[in-house]
Amino acid sequence: MAKKVLVLSTSLRNKSNSEMLAEAFKKGAEASGNTVEMVSLKDKSIAFCSGCLACQKIGRCVIQDDALAIADQMEKAEVIVWATPIYYYEMSGQMKTLIDRTNSLFPSDYAFRDIYMLSAAAEDGEGVDEGAVHGLNGWIACYEKARLKGTVFAGGVNEGGEIDSHPALKKAYEMGKSIQ
C-alpha cells in the first residue's frame, strides 16, 4: 500500500549534498509507488519558538510564518524524512528550529510512524552524525507512535554537489525504495 511521504530538506545551500541525498530518497520512494512531497527550507521564513505553549491549547502555533504549513504537512504524512547538513557534529540550526516549531503536533492525531534521517558532512569519520541522530531521537521520543526507521550519512563531502558519485546516494535511493 502506497504511503504519503514528506521529505524535509533543511540545507539553505544550492546544490547541497544533503538535498541530493533527499532527492535520491524521493526517487526511490516514488519508484515503489509512494506519494512523495519534498519541502526545502531554502525559501522559507521560520521564526524561533517562543515557548508560549499556546500551540498545546489551540492545536497550531501562533507565529504566522511558513512553519505552520510545514507542520500541517508533517501531521498528515505517514513517513517523514529529514535531510540535513552536519554542522559541528549536529543538525543544522534551521532543522532544529523547525523541530521546535512542531510542538503543536504533540497533542494531535498525527499520521507519521516512520522517520528517516539523511545527512552529509565534510568530515568523514565514525560517529560524525551521532549528535544529529541523537537530537532527532529526542523529538521522536515525544511521539509514541513514531520511530527512527533508518539513517544515511555521507561523509567527506564539502562543496555543493560533491556527493555526486558517493555511495550514500544509492543507499538513500534504496532506503526510499524500501518504503511499502
What is the overall mean pLDDT for the chain?
A: 96
What pLDDT, on the 0 to 100 scale, is given for residue 180?
87
Question: In this predicted model, what pLDDT tens digit does every residue of 56-78 receive, in sequence order?
Answer: 999 999 999 999 999 999 999 99
Confidence band of 128 (pLDDT split at 50, 70, 90): very high
| Helix or strand holding residue 108 (H, E) | none
Q: How would you list the strands of the sheet with 79-85, edge to edge? A: 35-40, 4-9, 79-85, 114-121, 147-155
Report the C-alpha gap between 114 and 78 in whole angstroms: 7
- Signed CA dihedral, 162, 164, 170, 174: sign only: positive
Q: What percent of the chain stands above pLDDT 90? A: 96
Within the chain, strands assigned E span 4-9, 35-40, 79-85, 114-121, 147-155
Instruction: Phi first, then psi: give them for residue 83, nearest 5 degrees.
Output: -120, 125
CA 161 from chain center: how many Å?
A: 19
What pLDDT, on the 0 to 100 scale, is given for residue 102?
95
What residue ranges define each of the domains in the chain, with the CATH number in brackets?
A: 4-177 (3.40.50.360)
Q: What is the CA radius of gyration of the chain?
A: 15
Residue that the C-alpha cell 492525531 belongs to: 109
